[in-house]
Chains A and B, each alone.
Chain A
């Protein structure tokens, strides 16, 4: 669902008046991207005009000013994840970081082995990169997940063999927000001498991530999930105990210690650093606030509707994430009913492929419930009033659509929907 309509959705769809102080549409899709924090923008602005220099220009003050900004950012990112500044490589974002990590490790350690382990619920940036490597002689194990969305450590243990060079498992899932046991995974990988990469873009700045305590060797980071700008990311690459080496994807001037050539995006990098510094300061307090709002939304919905199901464990989860299936209601029609609220659905109708969410299917969620799912992503700038409004609108729309739903009617009549022989389209 998009908020970039020319006419505000609230005007097009009329009847609903927002309570005082709420601006419509409400943005609650913070796993897709986050709005910029004004403090981040302020940090970036000088690097567009006044301090436009190239940090690779070593012989004049224009270059020095830019280089200083880049190095401050590197320190701030490193500090947030317990790394050292030299271990931070700047990239264009999460997809590039994932590609660089996986392809870079695969190419460097090809002689040692050709086996990579990942999980079925990973982001496409990881899954499709692994699929690509399969075409070049690599063997990939896609671990299943349990009903709660988490990888089973025993499955991982069994999957590691003497050809395994890399395990790549995300820290937090982008759809259901579940937090994988990365400290345990890291420990296991370290014991077995396997490099551990984690796509930590949804986790960093939301929950504590410490590369040493968690034995993480390589980690992907992006600014725009953290109230920073799009197009700026980083890759943490461990330099000690053990030293991890990667083959670059982009060759050129040898920037970023040869791992990623290309003139640095200085304003974006300054923004990423500032976003990390803010997270460092405010994460503890903010995550309590996020979890409070998320639980308020959950209670508001679940206390008033029957047959709603939370996808993924609530116990190990990003504080701002809620992913719910509303039985007997199709996701896209629900989005249409709450069109003054920007959220996402796992419904096939909202995806390009016409397939319902592969993440929900991996949890064992039936296609029917996958079609009925909504992802709420609460962020830094959401308020209690917004959460209450969203809860009311969702409940009212689900009730209306259930009145319209033949499945709800049949279920209430006691028909077991699983036993019905559905007439497929005659065409």
Chain B
């Protein structure tokens, strides 16, 4: 298996590795994949609730070089984007940017899933936070 220079670069120098407090109401966490399948991605975003802009993103990935590169790239791309802009990111764009071969396309799909899962988690927190604010106001 030969890798593109971009995959190698992300593998050797992964961007935005780390974890955020998943209990923080501004943080959305996506955990996708399964160990048995050889790929698990955790992608976290920190969203400004006023602007809906993703101000920070972190990831950790168990998987092959292409999976690591796909998730590293995903964190780079979502940073500075609004929730809606981030949701528009397609796995095919990741495939193109990293020049992934056909057998590695599932890595890009997983990265897209991770973005959606993180945003979904953040949205859920915003909705469940509302009644709490109402309660607090009473």
Contacts and interface: CB of A to CB of B under 8 A. Distances in A.
A67 B63 CA distance: 55
A18 to B, nearest CB: 18
B63 A333 contact: yes
B62 A330 contact: yes
Most interface-central of A329, A330, A354, A406 (chain B CB within 10 A): A406
Contacts of A12: 8
A405 B64 CA distance: 11
A347 B38 contact: yes
Contact of A425 (B12, B14, B31, B106): B106
B1 to A, nearest CB: 7
B39 A330 contact: yes
Nearest to A350: B1
Interface string A399-427: 00001111111000000010000111111
A333 B64 CA distance: 4
Interface string A338-352: 000000000111100
Interface string A1-45: 000010000001100000000000000000000000000000000
A427 B61 contact: no
B47 interface: no
A425 B113 CA distance: 7
A398 to B, nearest CB: 12
B33 A356 contact: no
B83 interface: no
B36 A406 contact: no
A227 interface: no
Interface string B97-137: 00000010010011001001100000000000000000000
Interface string A359-383: 0000000111001000000000000
A409 B31 CA distance: 13
Contacts of A423: 31-34, 113, 117
Interface string B31-65: 11111111111100000000000000000111111
B19 A368 contact: no
A102 B40 CA distance: 43
Nearest to B116: A426
A332 interface: yes
A348 B1 CA distance: 13
A336 interface: yes
B3 interface: yes
A328 interface: yes
6 contacts: A333-B68, A366-B36, A404-B17, A406-B40, A423-B34, A425-B109
Given A424-B34, A425-B106, 11 more contacts: A330-B38, A349-B38, A349-B64, A367-B35, A405-B60, A406-B62, A407-B62, A409-B19, A422-B34, A423-B32, A424-B33
Instruction: Report, nearest first, the 4 A-B pairs whose CB atoms are least far apart.
Output: A422-B34, A406-B42, A368-B35, A367-B36
